A and B are shown apart, each in its own frame.
Chain A
């Protein structure tokens, strides 16, 4: 039996993080959620102390990524994740306020799996996150192999 999926949430705004977590939970997802409020911490966790990502071998990860981080852009993290041999299969969900078409295109080019713009309207926001939670509960996440 595979390990349960860990959700890595990189979100600089703690309020957003809280709202996202709450709504994911409301949709019935009980997986472990690891929140990070800046890029550096997230990168350290993802790639480990040696920077290779080997520490996650055998883990199933799902990454929720905000693009506007105080210390680096989410795109940078996305690029590194998708270039890493252990992490490249982990689904990455971009969840950000930007709805610029260039940005969206760029993220998909780099290999992001889902791009969601945070709606300001809370009803829509809550709805989007709950649906995302439902999505999480049905998708298959591969383990980091090799």
Chain B
């Protein structure tokens, strides 16, 4: 029971460990997915943030470009005023166009920021003003009034448009600077977050892997332990089996010796009992002859050596003599019976001590030989014996002969009176064993006696046949020694089938000398 509990516990633990493994794997998978998703989101976020940073820089660039173009327009205008060369006018026109384009571009770039939209609107006015002044100055020069142009330009200084423009641009710069700082900060944070998530996720995955490895190692250690225990218990089991086998062998030897000695020692007094009974018988003859002689004083006597004195006696004497003879008869028949039993035990022990020699046996030929020896009994009982094809086996020839001859003998002995006997012997092979069946249509055996018939000195059914109840006990002992088993299937009045299972190839070394 203890080992069973332990086994159950182990099974439970194993199941728990397996579930733990699955959970760990699932958790690891989840963490990986989460890290991947978060990473993708954060990378996207970071790209966006960087985009905004770039955008800020672009806006600043654009502002610088705008101012540059305004200054270029101014320079070109001044150049035209001074030299009236059309080269400068063309320069001015290009710059003015660029200023308009740049303003529009700036407008579109800052469309996302209400503060900058306002600033751009504020910027629009001074720029427009400046461009108008330039245009007026150019116009004056075109009309050959250079002085007027110069005056316009001088006047313009008083308008302070350039200053306002610079102020607005400065405001915008400040705003963009603020945005730049803010956006850079956001981008940094996002990147930081991304790296934190990655590091944390990796750490978690590594931790899970470590736990998993730990669990795997623990489970493999548990398995190794279990294997070692199993090996140990196997070894123990084998040792125990060997020990028990040795014990049994010893006990069996002891019983054999005991049976041998007992039967032997029982025989000795039996010789005395028998001997002196015979002596008594002779004395009886002597005594009654003398009585007869006294009764028939002078009458002629029967020959002195004859045991029969009864015809010479009369009345009570005759009765006495008969009682005497009867008592002696019972004693002698009992002694005879006892002697047969003792002989049987002796034979059994001798059989038990005999060494078996496995040889190849043509089973069919062997059984045909047995059948030939009982042919006379068979014809008397009007019985036919059928032998079906039988497998050859390797076993002890004498033992096999005794087994089959006992069984066939029994089958013939216990046929149903008045019914022609039909005895079949057939066999099949299975897993290295030959299974022989000896079936008859005889009187059968009551199922309650099936065990009893294999016991020594026990018989079953109507006791109308001579026998000591040894045959089947002997047969079973032989079958066991040959590494086989034997059983009976029978019902009263419906015949019997004895089944003998013997190894097809019996190796003597396995069991020889242990009985």
Contact = CB atoms under 8 A, between A and B. Distances in A.
A126 interface: yes
Contact of A100 (B270, B272, B336, B350): B350
A97 B276 CA distance: 17
B278 A68 contact: no
- Interface bin, chain B: 10 to 19
B267 A19 contact: no
B429 to A, nearest CB: 36
Interface string B259-277: 0000011011111101111
Nearest to B276: A15
Contacts of B335: 120
B317 interface: no
A19 B268 contact: no
A125 B271 contact: yes
A71 interface: no
Interface residues of A, number: 16
B267 to A, nearest CB: 5
A128 B350 CA distance: 25
Given A13-B272, A16-B272, A126 B267 contact: no
B286 interface: no
Contacts of A122: 271, 274-275, 277-278
Contact of B272 (A15, A22, A68, A126): A15
Contacts of A15: 269, 271-272, 275-276
Interface string A1-38: 00000000000010110010010000000000000000
B267 A120 contact: yes
B304 to A, nearest CB: 15
Contacts of A73: none
A123 B339 CA distance: 14
B259 to A, nearest CB: 13
Contacts of B267: 97, 120
A100 B267 CA distance: 14
A121 interface: yes
A22 B275 CA distance: 11
Nearest to A102: B353
Contacts of B274: 120-122, 125
A118 interface: yes
Interface in B232-273: 264-265, 267-272
A123 B268 contact: no
Contact of B271 (A16, A98, A123): A16
A118 B264 contact: no
Nearest to A121: B274
Most buried by B among A13, A121, A122: A122
A63 B271 CA distance: 21
A125 B336 CA distance: 14
Given A13-B268, A19-B272, A120-B274, 5 more contacts: A19-B275, A100-B350, A120-B267, A122-B275, A126-B275
B285 to A, nearest CB: 15
Nearest to B342: A120
A16 B267 CA distance: 11
Contacts of A68: 264-265, 268
Interface in A115-146: 118, 120-123, 125-126
Contacts of A19: 271-272, 275-276, 279
29 contacts: A13-B268, A13-B269, A13-B271, A15-B269, A15-B271, A15-B272, A15-B276, A16-B271, A16-B272, A19-B272, A19-B275, A19-B276, A97-B264, A97-B267, A97-B271, A98-B264, A100-B350, A118-B271, A120-B270, A120-B339, A122-B271, A122-B274, A122-B277, A122-B278, A125-B271, A125-B274, A125-B275, A126-B275, A126-B278
Interface string B403-436: 0000000000000000000000000000000000
Most buried by A among B268, B275, B279, B339: B275
Nearest to B261: A68
Contacts of B269: 13, 15
B508 to A, nearest CB: 20
Nearest to B281: A122
3 tightest A-B CB contacts, nearest first: A15-B272, A122-B278, A19-B275
Contacts of B265: 68
B513 to A, nearest CB: 15
Interface in B318-360: 335-336, 339, 350
A16 B350 contact: no
B124 to A, nearest CB: 140
